[in-house]
Amino acid sequence: MADTIPVRVVDELDVAKPGFSRIAPAVTGRPSCQISLTDPDACSMKTRGEGIVGYSVQTEVDVKRHLFVDYEVTSAGTGRDPR
């Protein structure tokens, strides 16, 4: 079996190429070379060896009343203590 890219995939990439060119300056201007197309304030976060663009939300809940007591939104990859 040859290692070739199917014609269908090449055609799809040709169609998408103008969109890539439009966002290229924004991508190259960021340290992670990633952007979020839906939220420009989202940041690249490392999670279990991979990176995703988004936020980390930590919550504190009152178990008895089932209410949120506190929350923190951050662009850090995890809220776990590294100890």
Q: Give residue-wise pLDDT tens across range 57-83.
A: 889 999 999 999 999 887 665 555 443
Phi, psi (degrees; rounded to nearest 5) at 71: -150, 160
Which whole-number Å values give the CA distances from 44 to 10, 15, 16, 63, in the listed order? 28, 27, 23, 32
- Read off the pLDDT of each residue in 41-68 and give the average, rounded to a whole number: 81
pLDDT tens digits, 7-39: 888 888 888 888 777 777 777 766 666 667 777
Q: Output the pTM of the full model.
A: 0.40
pLDDT of residue 61: 92
